[in-house]
Structure 1
Amino acid sequence: GGGPGSAAGPDGVAMQGMNDLKSPAAISLLSVFFLGTDSGCCQEMKHANLLESLRFRVALLEQKLTREPQWDELRRLRAEVSEQVPWLLPCPEGAWDFTQHALLLLLSLKRSMDLLAAAYSPPPPNPRTAEAAPPLRPDTLSIAQERTVQAALQAVVAVGLCPYLSPGVGLPLSRRTEFSALVQAVAASGGPSQAPRKLFTTCIGLLEIAQHPALGGLILTQHLGDLLAGLCQLGFCPVRKKSEEGLPEEERTRCKEALRGLLDRVYQPLVVRELLLLQGGPKQVLQVQCLAPAPAWLRRLCGQLLSERLMRPNGVQAVVRGILEGAGAGAVGGSGAEAAAADWQKCDAVARILSSCPQQSLSLEDYYRQVCPQVLQLFLLQDKLAARQFQRVATATVLGMARQCPRQAEKHLLRPMLGPLLRCLEAAETSLDDLPAGTVLVEEEELSSCVETVFKVYVVGNEPVPVLMEALQLALGVLFSLWCFARQNVSFFTPCQEILLWFLEKSERKVALGVLGGLAQLGGAPRPPHPRCRFQAADEGGAMATITEAASDEDEALYEKVSSEQRQLEQLVELLSHCQSSGLAGEFFLSCLKELTGVAEHALGTEEPGPAGPASPLDLERSCGRPAEEQERRLRVLQLLALLCEGVSDTLLTDIAQVVEFVAATLQRARTSFGSSSGGAVEAQTLSMAMGLVAALLGGAAQLKPADLAALQQLVPLLEEVSRLHPEPVIQELAADLRIAICTRGAFATEAVCSAARGTLGLGRARGLGQAGTGVSRGATASAQGGGPKPEGALQQASREHSSPAEPNVAAPEDQAAAPSAEPHLGSPARQSLRELLASAYDPDVPARAAALRSLARLIERRDPGALEVQEQLLKVFMENLEHEDSFVYLSAIQGVALLSDVLPTRVLHCLLAQFGGVQPSARKALSAETRMKVGEALMRITRALGKSPLLAGVPAPDSGALEASCVASVESCPGR
């Protein structure tokens, strides 16, 4: 601007006003005062000094405007402005007098800038310098001028607005800076008289100044919260006492209208942030000493205003941005581990707000109708920095709405979200058959956005809410077809596959099997796309849904139909290959087997009689069409079974219960062919294979649990029927024997059952199974008395003997301890007792362990046949117990080794001498001296019975203790000692 001697007129007045603002008088002095950097001066300044300083500055300003002729234009402009603002309140108080002068100067500045803008005429553009920046408008403030105006605005807000706010309304000055607390004390010194009028004057003055764009930007970016707090208090704060001085109703109404206009004018995320701060925010933010909570009327008002912001166009995005950007973690999309963790919590908090219908809403239906489309728009945000947070909010909001109001969520949220996929089933407004070929049902961008949104809601959200599952089930047929197409175009392959697998995993097993049947076109939901709907490659590498021309040639149409179904069945099997761990593939395989059995039973049991009289052509067509449809369905089931067996046969049946179900389905299907001529060699081999599986299960092919034994009981009636009705005597006998073995829980096993088990497991004939049926009553009695299955029966014993004849037939100690409750009993009580003793030899309870060792020693002493069969294992048990620290245990083990030397003298001595001399190659660690002493004690007992020759191998032992024990043992063995 010009200097003090500028010409008169609007331009001169404006420039003079700006220069005055930069002069040491008035607001320039306020700028130095409020933005000074000397904090020590602020701390030392007393209350009286500050008040006196304000009065001095006002007097200095009046002196300059009155006595110095260079400020005449500014003085006249200020007088004009003062006459046009009747709401100014004259008051002799020093702080308020200072506020009025600052407001008048700012209003004068605004008036002069308006005059400059009105008189400005931009020059025509110069074509020679087209690239040059256009000239600035004359009402543009420089950086220094902006700093001066900011200081003046800060002075007005600090002295004329904040001190008159009620407790809890806005952030008090005492909680901002130490200097602000001093200003609060100075402004409050005048008492509460005319406080509403002073607050009204300041707010209206600031709103008037904010009408200019440049000045309004400075006010609304720095002081919006304080201005909103003042307008809320003026327009909505209830007057509780008659003695309290309030504003007239007209002025309260003016404040309410000004508040509405201000909220509509400002950037909406900023409005949301300030309203949240006024409302009080979360509780953890308010845990500050001496900070009064927001009053109830203000919380209700802010809630209502926030709801109105939310219901506006793009209100959801404004609320999300306002909370995420204004909750203390910076702009949306900020990085950093701590900020990211805080962002997730904020996103969930925003989602809870959006999914809850506000009380101010007219109805739940209206709220969902306005908000749900905006929630879906959050998924399509292109800003990479903010997209993750917005999508997190949108996903959590969809899940919250689906939980709280499923009917409205399904209508206004899920159906629009799945709309592009559902459009491929049947258009809502017209039939797809009426559309011309080439019509685009779903554009590439729309289809891509739909699949991405569904993936984020279902797979990323990972919450199987019932209404979500029901809505997605309708579109699974289209998703599956798109996934099949995506094998040629991988743009949709991963998200479609993840969505399908997620649904199959999270849904109930019955629903999942029904969906697989629908995808295999065996009937039921979900429906496949319309026959004329096809997916084809799009320009951007994605896919789009179009209408194809109907095939004119019937043979070509049939070929296309059959080949398409074949490809989809193959790809369905590939999809099931990813579900093997959950057992879904096996259960679907079993359901197809049962379906095949049902079709066979229906074909054999229902032979419709021919028409008694002449039939109409329509009746003939229907009667011929039904068998064709049934035959087509049966062929599809057979094809699906073949593909399953070929594709995932190795891991198809994942547990014993599924194996039992498979056997039951096989027996059920074989039963249908007993009375017909359709049975043959294939059926007989299938039946033999199924019964061989049962025998193998009882023979130890898998570890049977009580639940598995209970599942085997369902085979009993089927086996009984096979034993009565099958024409083959061998199969009849095997079925009867298996039924008895299942009913007795394995206590009885015939040679036929054992042979079937060996044949299924690929074993040769077992040794010692010629008398497998002997002792049946004793085994059954022992099983009944034991109250449950017992370990190691005849079938398991036979399998183990022939799988590894050279290995000892005893499991590891931990397996032995668990065996009595895990395996069925098929052997004799003597063998059962021996197995129990071997298991007890590793019991952690010392008395039980020692008692078991002494019992085993007595069995050796009596030359028990069962004990002699496992003498190698007994030697291992005794040798391992020699290392036990308890004397009761290792002395019992020494006794057992000594008695076992009568049966295996060479083997026992070789083992003892190797350990005693410390030369055994397979030892994991060197034996301690104590253990070698125990071995020497065992050798001493053996030499008393075998003579002195075995001890000569221990004399050269390097260890002195071992050498001493060997010598003592040798001396004891000498005759005539």
Structure 2
Amino acid sequence: MHVPVQGLVSLGEDGDCHPASGSQPLLDPSDRESQQLLTLQLVAVLSERLGPTVLSNTVQLMEFVGAVLQRVCADLTGRDMDTVETETLSVALGLIAAMLGGGVQFAQADYEAMEVLLAPLEQISVAHRDPSTQQLAAELRITIATHGAITRPSHIAAGSRHGTRGHHGSELDMTSTKFNNLQECGPGEGTVPEPRPLTPSTHMVDHTQSGNPPNNFHQVLQAACDPEVPTRVAALRTLTQTIKHRSQEALNHWEQLLTVFLDNLGHEDSFVYLTAIQGLEVLSDSAPDHMLLHLLREYQSTSLREQTAGSVDRRMKMGEVLMRVTRALGAVAPHYRDPLIQAFLIGSRDADSTMRASSLSNLGELCQRLHFALGPVIHEVVACLSAIVKTEQEAEVRRAAVHVVTLLLRGLSEKALQGGVWQCFNVELAAPGLD
């Protein structure tokens, strides 16, 4: 059979692609977009011909998907995505969903290789304009981060259909049947090795309806992503209590727990995100070295994303988590002084004024928790506060900076005068807008 793709390539009997006659070396933008759409149609035809074998090489798929996601992330803060870019992103997300849904047998090393997709998926889940794409990217990220311990078959199935059926009717439904079958599989029937994706069982449904989490650890993890708020909160509290009791299973899966709590941190319901904050606090107490570094990285990385109301709210919640962890550390807190101060100083230069004020408030409390033993960092802190009071346009932020200065002067007391630190406070406290 000969399948021509006009103006681009043709697929011959031998299965090879040959240049089609009439190809033009120079194309205007409209012709270039048409050629790109034809390329996608060619991919659709090849996928239908090759069938499931197209998913056999995980490394090549990851390289393709990673390149697509990186390109999408580069365009998120710029112009709107055109039709071709949107179509390509749909195909990439559909491929990820297909692999996670049983299209490929996964080993532990495959999950580790897919972790390079976590950062772009998270950025898409926060900054993409399409809510359904945001949700799909978030669900895929959770599944990858937990190595398949948490998944939502219905969402992934929807994602596979979304990713393989473009806006122009390209049919790539070779994997949708595999996805739909996941909803019917019981535990242990999937093709993915341990840890296997969990599918809701009758036991889970009964607990969901009653608002209580199940007892099995992995089922509780699953319930922590339940759409029903009572079930989700109950599961998060159960996980928190499990960590408090130093359950070995919970400690062995602290990375999965971290992912679950961070995911719930962005929930709009106050019961959910406050419970997630408590869980992060308890989890940090069990492994402060690992957890604090992860939380600081999360706090600082989010400041680089597109400025949205949701991202600012999430970062402020992360600041609250860091402060709770600092309080829980007690006498050990000075050991983490420098990275904590650095994180809040970076936040004080954020583009959002609310975030700047929040970071300064956290900085002031941190100085109190450290008993003002700031060491050589004191000069950097004072220089930052001085610049904010002199140049900041928002009165709320200037007030926050002056409040930190007041706390430092009270805490340092005579040491501030004797050590020459007072000269660093030569700031214009009478700047307009402070009354």
Whether TM exceeds 0.5 here: the answer is no
Highest CA radius of gyration, 1 or 2? 1
TM-score, normalised relative to structure 1: 0.22
Instruction: Pick 1 or 2: higher relative contact order, CA cutoff 8 A, min separation 6.
Output: 2
TM-score, normalised relative to structure 2: 0.41
